[in-house]
């Protein structure tokens, strides 16, 4: 009976991850960021009267509630969202190893790939929940501060509120897809490292390096292979008309990185020595 594999319930792993301070801080930062941005704009004062026709979303942030939410998403969808993904996925296995609980989990026994799979599922749900909470709080703060107006497209028309909400949800989904590479790399690094901060730091370092290389024109078409090359593709939903080409390329790039890095992570974890 002791040799039978034990299924790790999703809710148990969810509770375990939520009990970690790194996870709570990462999700709390996403939820509170719109309030911080609102305070910063309040200190900075009202927008210039000539901002309505500008193509700069920063200048349009205070035009309406939906525009404020879009501005917050643009601020968050790059480096900060990558950092949150790095913290969530970098803690999966390395966190258990650093707390000396990994070997006990595997002697229950829980099959290794099932353990890794459940942990990745929970981290994915938490990341999506954090991004959705970010969008929801940003829209709420924006509506309370600037009214229930629709999204003011930079250099374009003012959208209806219903259309704006759909655009914001699509933007959130595309931004989440752009984090697939970071989630997969975090999963790989968390199985090869015993330090969750080292695993998260590796993702952040890779993000910085990729963004630097992406700014070098001499690399030409080779830049499309960089994991952050399509990191701003979700901006397409904040323009008119919407160009889904970059979004599709970004999703495809993220899936390729996720499959390759995820496969290596699963292979590595199935052979990881956790006897120590």
Mean pLDDT estimate for the chain: 87
Per-residue pLDDT of 118-142, as tens digits, reads 999 999 999 999 999 999 999 999 9
Count the helix, strand and coil residues of the chain and give each as a percent rounded to the nearest 5. Answer: 70, 0, 25
Tell me the two tokens of residue 163.
Answer: 């259309």
Residue 180 pLDDT class (50, 70, 90 cuts): very high
Measured distance CA(239)–CA(50) in Å, rounded: 20
Of 93, 97, 83, nearest to 27 by C-alpha is: 83
Measured distance CA(198)–CA(206) in Å, rounded: 12
Tell me the two tokens of residue 101.
Answer: 């609980």
Q: What is the mean pLDDT of residues 227-239?
A: 91
Residues in Cβ contact with 171 at an 8 Å cutoff, skipping those fewer than 6 apart: 70, 73, 77, 135, 234, 235, 237, 238
The angle that helices 65-76 and 112-146 make with each other, rounded to 10 degrees, is 140
Per-residue pLDDT of 65-109, as tens digits, reads 999 999 999 999 888 999 999 999 998 888 877 777 777 776 666
Measured distance CA(119)–CA(181) in Å, rounded: 17
In the chain, domain spans: 10-270
Per-residue pLDDT of 141-170, as tens digits, reads 999 999 998 898 888 888 898 999 999 999
The pLDDT of residue 207 is above 90: yes
Q: Specify whether the CB–CB gap between 178 and 103 falls below 8 A.
A: no
Query: What pLDDT is attached to residue 54?
Result: 54
Task: Say if residue 241 is preceded by a cis peptide, omega within 30 of 0.
Answer: yes
Radius of gyration over every alpha carbon of the chain, rounded to an integer in angstroms: 21
Average the pLDDT over each of 45-54, 193-202, 234-243 and give the range with the smallest value: 45-54
Query: What pLDDT is attached to residue 2?
Result: 46
The pLDDT of residue 1 is above 80: no
Tell me the two tokens of residue 265.
Answer: 């992570």
Query: What pLDDT is attached to residue 94?
Result: 86
Per-residue pLDDT of 240-271, as tens digits, reads 888 899 999 999 999 999 999 999 999 998 88
Q: What are phi and psi of 152, to 5 degrees?
A: -90, 105
Query: What pLDDT is attached to residue 109?
Result: 64
Measured distance CA(39)–CA(56) in Å, rounded: 20
Q: What is the mean pLDDT of residues 29-51?
A: 82
Q: Specify whether the CB–CB gap between 200 and 275 falls below 8 A.
A: no
Residue 115 pLDDT class (50, 70, 90 cuts): confident
Q: What percent of the chain has pLDDT over 70?
A: 89
Q: Specify whether the CB–CB gap between 65 and 148 falls below 8 A.
A: yes
Q: What percent of the chain has pLDDT over 90?
A: 58
């Amino acid at each position: 009976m002791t040799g039978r594999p034990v299924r790790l319930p999703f809710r148990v792993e969810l509770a375990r991850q939520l009990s970690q301070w790194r996870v709570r801080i990462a999700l709390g930062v996403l939820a509170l960021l719109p309030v911080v941005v609102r305070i910063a704009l309040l200190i900075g004062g009202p927008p210039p009267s000539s901002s309505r026709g500008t193509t700069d979303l920063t200048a349009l942030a205070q035009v309406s509630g939906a525009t404020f939410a879009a501005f917050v998403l643009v601020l968050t969808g790059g480096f900060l969202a990558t950092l949150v993904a790095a913290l969530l996925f970098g803690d999966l296995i390395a966190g258990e190893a650093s707390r000396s609980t990994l070997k006990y989990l595997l002697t229950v026994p829980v099959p290794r790939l099932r353990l890794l799979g459940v942990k990745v599922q929970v981290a994915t749900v938490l990341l999506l929940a954090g991004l959705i909470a970010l969008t929801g709080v940003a829209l709420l703060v924006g509506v309370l501060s600037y009214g229930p107006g629709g999204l003011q497209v930079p250099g374009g028309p003012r959208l209806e509120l219903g259309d704006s909400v759909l655009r914001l949800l699509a933007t959130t989904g595309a931004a989440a897809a752009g984090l697939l590479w970071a989630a997969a790399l975090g999963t790989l690094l968390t199985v090869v490292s015993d330090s969750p901060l080292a695993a998260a730091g590796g993702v952040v370092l890779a993000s910085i390096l990729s963004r630097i290389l992406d700014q070098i024109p001499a690399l030409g078409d080779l830049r499309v292979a960089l994991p952050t090359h399509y990191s701003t593709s979700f901006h397409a939903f904040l323009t008119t008309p919407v160009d889904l080409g970059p979004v599709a390329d970004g999703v495809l790039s993220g899936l390729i990185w996720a499959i390759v890095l995820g496969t290596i992570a699963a292979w590595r974890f199935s052979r990881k020595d956790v006897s120590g």
